[in-house]
Amino acid sequence: MSDNPVNFMYRRDFLESLGKLSVGAAAAGGFGIGAARARERQEQKEWKPVSLRKVRVGIVGYGVCRFGAAFGFQDHPNVDVVAVSDLIPDRCDALMKACRCDKSYESLEKMVKDKRIEAVFVATDAPSHARHCIEVLRHGKHVMTAVPAVFGSIEQADQLLEAVQESGLKYMMAETSCFRPDCYAMREVYRAGGFGRLIYSEGEYYHFHSKQIGSFKGWRIGLPPLWYPTHSTAYYVGVTGKRFTSVFCCGSNCGIPSYEPGANKYNNPFTDEVALFKTSEGGSSRMLMCKGINKLVVERGRVFGEKGWMDGTEYHGVAKDLPDTIRPPLPPGVPAGGHGGSHGQLSNEFITSIIEDREPLVNIYEALAMTVPGIIAHQSALKDGETLAIPQYERPKA
């Protein structure tokens, strides 16, 4: 992939490009300073363990993306993968092999009863994420989930928040954009005051595919685009920790058959949705998810503040003495993984948050702040762009 801040990835279908992302690490540093230089700088950092203890992990889900084994839990020195699960026996066997694990369960509901397990990675179908996470939490185990946190439902969001708060356990959403090199750098600069107030930001998730991606019970078929918003919304919420307060959204249809009237179970007519949000710091933010732009598959963002701006990892502005913006080193043996080398960072963040007994980066409040605005945006698109208020999920006061 080019080091140009505007990255166009052409691929015949999802699975082919997933391999390309893993091999190329989606320019594992890539923007602004160059991929090779970024990797060299990251490798110069030495990983230091915070503990010798091993967190006993269970993993559920090994679907078309093979995410159950893609985040490197089985390679982390502070993890012991003690059991796995998938509803489909062949996939369950494959997940056992990939995770070098000798114990499996035929369902998550059975696996969570294993008292040896301390934490579970939920890599199941998106419609089941909230239900599965609640089940894990109710059995006294920490949980990390693939995106999105909830699936088109504000009621689910309320139920999940309640379950996390009542459990007192760690919840983390594995939003990959949060640990892409550019988003990570933007967050460090923002925290150091390098932008001041953000006036405008953008997050873009383009995902054209030449054929329908497989999914459990066909959940991807006709999916409302901004029900899957977090790869985009992370470029504001994951940078600033601030919130979207209202939205108006426009939808369009590029003619994919599964989005024609009556062709999907969501009654969704849109292949593409572009939303404009008002932010809690008085700025605006354009977030989109588009499937209809031919041969374009990329996740990217830009932020513009009173003191400077970033499009990639290079800062342009007046602030001085900014912090190191290269991501932390990974434990030896843990692969960076796909989505810009974010997978290993996410699993390491989750495990470290358990060992250090602290909130993970994408905790329940940040997860809902990235997910729920997309649900409201889709409602706006169905109402021809009506401006709608966004529910706020308040963090507990210190």
List, as one string, the DSSP characters of 32-56. TT-HHHHHHHHHHSPP--S-S--EE
The chain-wide mean pLDDT, for the chain, equals 90
Four-residue CA torsion sign, 338, 77, 324, 33: negative
Residue 25's pLDDT is 32
209 burial class (0-12, 13-18, 19+ CB within 10 angstroms)? Answer: middle
Helix (H, G, I), strand (E, B) or coil at 10: coil
Q: Is residue 83 within 8 Å of residue 111, measured between CB atoms? A: yes
Residue 264: in which H helix or E strand, if any?
none
The reported pLDDT for the residue numbered 41 is 60
pLDDT of residue 30: 33
Phi and psi at residue 137, in whole multiples of 5°?
Answer: -65, -40
* pLDDT value of residue 6: 36
The confidence score (pLDDT) of residue 271 equals 96
d(CA 374, CA 233): 8
Identify which of 203, 207, 197, 206 has the alpha carbon closest to the alpha carbon of residue 182: 203
Question: How high is the pLDDT of residue 240?
Answer: 98
What single letter denotes the amino acid at residue 289? M
Which DSSP letter does residue 236 get? T
Positions in the chain short of pLDDT 50? 1-33
What is the model's pLDDT at position 213? 82
- The strand pair at 55-60 and 119-122 is best described as parallel
| CA dihedral angle for residue 45, residue 46, residue 52, residue 58, rounded to 10 degrees | 50
* Predicted structure pTM score: 0.89
Handedness of CA 120, 124, 130, 131 (dihedral sign): negative
CB atoms closer than 10 angstroms to residue 43: 11
Q: Are 73 and 79 in contact (CB under 8 A)?
A: yes
> Residue written as tokens 């008292």?
115
Residue 132 · residue 122 · CB < 8 Å: yes
CATH class for the domain made up of 14-35+177-322+364-389: alpha beta
